[in-house]
Amino acid sequence: MAEQQKKNIFLVKFEPSSDFTTYSSLGIADEEVIHEFNLARIIECELTDERVDDLKRFSNVLYVERDIPVYAYQQEIPYGVSRVQTQQVHQEGYTGGGVKLGIVDTGIDASHEDLNVTDGFSVFQSGEDSEPYHDGSGHGTHVAGTAAALDNGTGVVGVAPDASLYAIKVLDSSGSGSSAGVVRGIEWAIQNEMDVINMSLGSSEPSRAIQDAVDTAYDEYDILVVAAAGNEGNADGTGNTVGYPAQHDSVLSVAATDQNDLRAPFSSTGPGVDISAPGASILSTVPGNGYDRLNGTSMAAPHVAGAGAVLRAAFPDAPASEIKERMISTAKDIGDRSEWYGSGLLQLHDAVNQ
């Protein structure tokens, strides 16, 4: 007895002039037909591969294709966003709405469907880098997504999805800039009344001009200034390797942890570290409506900047100093090495409900 051939579901499309309901003339039995799509002149049916080959020879059959699976484009919650208690505060309605969040970086791809970029500024005068929404590096776009990617059912979600992003471009497409450019960017942030700025940049060499700028932003204009601690750490976690401006007292300095809440081996160490956030293999937005995983304290800092935006929206009358203290005082103890972790791992829900 011959083995019965396996049947699969196929869609058979008929050419416009044919009577597609007379499929029996093609050797398709009524019991093999699952559905007739009258407008599209297609039938859904169960067929063997042999019958499919036969059907393709008929002139009134335009195509036969296998029924393929289709999936929802689900939004992913990156592990870093989960580790800092973001989902809990979103469920309680704290999402950073009405807060101005400046990303002092390489620009932001404002055409990315997962980002809400309100305005921008570039310190560069010519070429593509003069456009704040051109991010030839991708660094600023990635930082922006962690801080504030939209809760729109696709891609990823950021810590403060309802915050307004501002692209403050002080680094070119190679990721390089100058102290003068950084000061100009901070000046623009002050003039345009940012509530929070993220600086995933730095130098091993201090700049008095940058220190003056961040001190002015924080002390005189009540801007919460967040900066990456730096990626100059060693495997042993020894030495004072925190960069500038993260070393300055007016700046909330962020070290990087991994999926296990352990210090990322590249994360800079020293007394200048204030707090920690995930910075290893962080999934976020990149130019061209894309997503990618990157490592660095640059990826850790926007978790804290986004948290700052959520807190500023939740407590609109609280000064930046209080917002900063809320995050530091409620951080989770993940080890007694303050030079590694500062006060510990950011816990946004605890900061909101302190």
CATH class of the 7-66 domain in this structure: alpha beta
Strands (E), the chain: 7-14, 33-37, 42-48, 61-66, 100-105, 117-122, 164-169, 196-199, 224-228, 251-257, 275-278, 282-286, 290-294
Is 298 annotated as catalytic? Answer: yes
Q: Token digits for 156? A: 């990823």
Is 105 annotated as catalytic? Answer: yes
Judging by DSSP bridges, how do beta strands 100-105 and 42-48 pair with one another? unpaired
Of 250, 268, 298, 343, the active-site residue reads: 298
CATH code assigned to 79-352? 3.40.50.200
Half-sphere exposure of 187 (CA within 13 A, CB side): 11
pLDDT (tens digit per residue) in 7-24: 899 998 988 877 777 787
| pLDDT grade for 171, boundaries at 50, 70 and 90 | very high
Query: If you count them, how many residues does the chain have?
Result: 354
What is the domain partition of the chain in residue ranges? Answer: 7-66, 79-352
Single pTM value for the model: 0.83
Burial class (CB in 10 A: 0-12, 13-18, 19+), 206: middle
pLDDT (tens digit per residue) in 331-344: 999 988 999 999 99
Is 303 annotated as catalytic? Answer: no
Q: In this structure, are residues 251 and 245 in contact, taking their beta carbons and an 8 Å threshold?
A: yes
- pLDDT at residue number 7: 87
| pLDDT grade for 1, boundaries at 50, 70 and 90 | very low
For the cut 60, the answer to whether the pLDDT of residue 73 exceeds it is: no
Of 90, 105, 276, 343, the active-site residue reads: 105
pLDDT (tens digit per residue) in 242-297: 999 999 999 999 999 999 999 999 999 999 999 999 999 999 999 999 999 999 99
Of 90, 134, 139, 142, the active-site residue reads: 139
- What angle is formed at CA 41 by the lines to CA 36 and CA 42, rounded to 5 degrees? 55
